[in-house]
Structure 1
């Protein structure tokens, strides 16, 4: 004996409603804005002291934090592993994920890792535990970037987020968007100032340019944000105090035209703490080098070359295939390694200059004297040395290099572009 038609229809409607509610709940759980924080469950690792040589290979680009952790970027996630000198990537020490926002940039200072997301949100994590230290709103990034699967651009060259250290030791996080910028205290995320400006996206790297007339470049060693301003006439370099937001020096290189390209040099990771600047006309490789300080930039001809680097007062460049170190202030030659030839300047860090030979040997010199610190082949397993160098990074005595397939095809997909599925080679110097 069955149900009457009326009761059957009611039962069917109730069943359909329950299914719809269940589906809606599932969709909400999957698509609703959310964050997932997985903190560390073991003790903070000790600092490593590896011997010089190749450590291993990695599938993604590491950001070395506090000399103890490697931090990586994924599309919607930032995570860390340890030990810092581990041969391979290991199970995450901690992880932080957001949805639906995408990770746009990562900067770090000491034991604080600051992440910037596509919706402008700033989230600071304690590197020792992976727990959220603070959250703050900021401007959304200006334009979109094309980031390959290693995530190197996100952790080694983030755009629109910087850290500056003021003269009193206070550290400031500066987030720059298309219409405004905001500064917050690194310690607690408290707002220090905000300013409504129109900012451009630096050219290159696949970014979609946003309408604007200011280009935020990086921060100086004396705690200022470097901005190229072309809003009201010929381009001017302005230096804005990171703590107060006040614009101090506004400067134009002598003889500069209406347009100006400026490149910070002598910087830490993420173009922070820069001590020099190179200026040029658009499309002109013949730049002019300058030293940065509390006043106007001071001419430093030793930094004129497009590939010259600045390491604690020493301008290092490869001239006719030979590495040379000069005083950035006087131009006097400090050292010249005529016994080395056909090398390229790969990366620098405060106490080391890293050179790459034609056969992909990594040579590390002391920037003050040119003396050799280490020398070894950048080879791991059976991968060989038949690769071209891509993006490179150096910090805390480590060097990481992307290995690209020859001939390099910048337009190729990631499988064609990179040498292997683990294209990053990590070394201690």
Structure 2
């Protein structure tokens, strides 16, 4: 004997409601904002001391942190493995993941790893443990190009993330976004200052070795370079290069890392990559003709450039030749770090020179196993004596998709110099 019609309808309706509730719970669990932090279970590793040579190959770009860890990025995750000289990427030492926000930049200073997300969140992690050190709200990142699958741009050139050191020794995280520039105490994430402007007219290009925020301002009149106090955000100096065009591009050079702690800059017309070089100090920028062009790099008071297969070191202030090397053949500078200039020869040898003397610190073939040298360099990075290079196909172009662009599944070579 079945249920009466009325009661049957009640049961069916109740079942439908319960099914809807269950579905909503599942959808909420899957799609609701979430944060998953997996901290380190082992001890902080010691810093290895690898000899010169290729260490290994990796599927994604590493950011070497404190000489001990390698930090990587993916669409919604920042994670680390160790040791820094490991041949392959291994099980994460720690991991931090967020949903549904996307990771747009990673910056490391000392043992602090700052991650920037598409929902304006800034999350700092302690590299020694992977634990969250602090969280803060930052400016809107704006529209950024989609990263390639190595995420090299995300970790090697994070948009709008820089660090400046004040005269008192405080490390200030500088974050640039759409119409906004913020300064935070790197130690605890406390916001120190904020600058609001019309969207698109203000941007941070980097920070200087003397503790200033270097920016390009076009909010009122012709474009000019602004130098702001990192501790307060106040403008110290507003400067336009002599005979500068109405619009120009500012590229920091001679930086401690990324575009932070820079000792010079290059000013170029939009669409013209050559540019004029300038040295930065306590006063107005000083012209440095030795830095003109894109084939010259700055290390302290020295400029190293290449031309017609010759590598020349010059005084940044006078342009006087200090040394030259004409025994390397056609070369290109692929990465620079304090005290080291890394060059790639036509035969794919990585040559590291001392910028003060031109002396060779190391030289070896950028090859591993049977991979060969039939490739061209993509993005490159150097820190603490480590060099990482993307390997692109010889005929690859910037508009090719990842499948056509990269040489293989593990396109990144990591070497110690």
Q: After TM superposition, is the score higher than 0.5? A: yes
Q: Does 1:297 align with 2:285?
A: yes
Q: Please name the residue that 1:46 is paired with.
A: 46
Q: Distance in 2 between matches of 1:407 and 1:66?
A: 36
Q: Please name the residue that 2:239 is paired with.
A: 251
Q: Distance in 1 between matches of 2:247 and 2:412?
A: 37
CA contact (8 A) 2:310 2:324 kept: yes
The alignment's TM-score, normalised by the length of structure 2, stands at 0.98
Q: Distance in 1 between matches of 2:273 and 2:382?
A: 25
Q: Distance in 1 between matches of 2:201 and 2:68?
A: 40
Shift of 1:285: 4.0
Shift of 1:269: 3.3
Q: Does 1:198 align with 2:212?
A: no
CA contact (8 A) 1:162 1:272 kept: yes
Task: Decide which of 381, 394, 399 is 1:411's aligned counterpart.
Answer: 399
Give the 5 Å matches for 1:209-248: 212-248=200-236
Deviation track 1:70-109 (CA, whole Å, cap 9, x = no partner) reads: 0001001100000110000000000001111110111111
> Which piece of structure 1 moves more, 222-231 or 150-159?
222-231
Deviation track 1:262-316 (CA, whole Å, cap 9, x = no partner) reads: 2110113331111101112223344211111121101111101222111122101
Q: Please name the residue that 2:408 is paired with.
A: 420
Q: Distance in 1 between matches of 2:61 and 2:109?
A: 18
Task: Decide which of 261, 265, 286 is 1:277's aligned counterpart.
Answer: 265
Task: Decide which of 361, 386, 394 is 1:398's aligned counterpart.
Answer: 386
Deviation track 1:241-271 (CA, whole Å, cap 9, x = no partner) reads: 1110110111111121222222110113331
Q: Note the residue ranges of structure 2 that are not aligned, 5 or more in a row.
A: none
User: Number of aligned pairs?
Assistant: 417
Q: Please name the residue that 2:93 is paired with.
A: 93
Q: Please name the residue that 1:114 is paired with.
A: 114
> Which piece of structure 1 moves more, 251-260 or 31-40?
251-260
Q: Please name the residue that 2:254 is paired with.
A: 266
The alignment's TM-score, normalised by the length of structure 1, stands at 0.95
> Which piece of structure 1 moves more, 409-418 or 107-116?
409-418
Q: Distance in 1 between matches of 2:38 and 2:368?
A: 32
Q: Please name the residue that 1:124 is paired with.
A: 124
Shift of 1:120: 1.1
Q: Distance in 2 between matches of 1:408 and 1:304?
A: 28
Q: Distance in 1 between matches of 2:218 and 2:140?
A: 22
> Which piece of structure 1 moves more, 52-61 or 266-275?
266-275
Task: Decide which of 341, 359, 375 is 1:387's aligned counterpart.
Answer: 375
In the superposition, relative to structure 1, how do residues 285 and 139 fare at CA in structure 2: closer, same or farther (>3 Å)? Answer: closer
CA contact (8 A) 1:278 1:289 kept: yes
Q: Please name the residue that 2:143 is paired with.
A: 143
Give the 5 Å matches for 1:315-334: 315-334=303-322
CA contact (8 A) 2:176 2:203 kept: no
CA contact (8 A) 1:173 1:184 kept: yes
Deviation track 1:135-154 (CA, whole Å, cap 9, x = no partner) reads: 00011112222211100000
Q: Note the residue ranges of structure 1 that are not aligned, 5 or more in a row.
A: 200-211
Give the 5 Å matches for 1:10-21: 10-21=10-21
Deviation track 1:35-69 (CA, whole Å, cap 9, x = no partner) reads: 11000000000001001000000000000000000
In the superposition, relative to structure 1, how do residues 285 and 74 fare at CA in structure 2: closer, same or farther (>3 Å)? Answer: closer
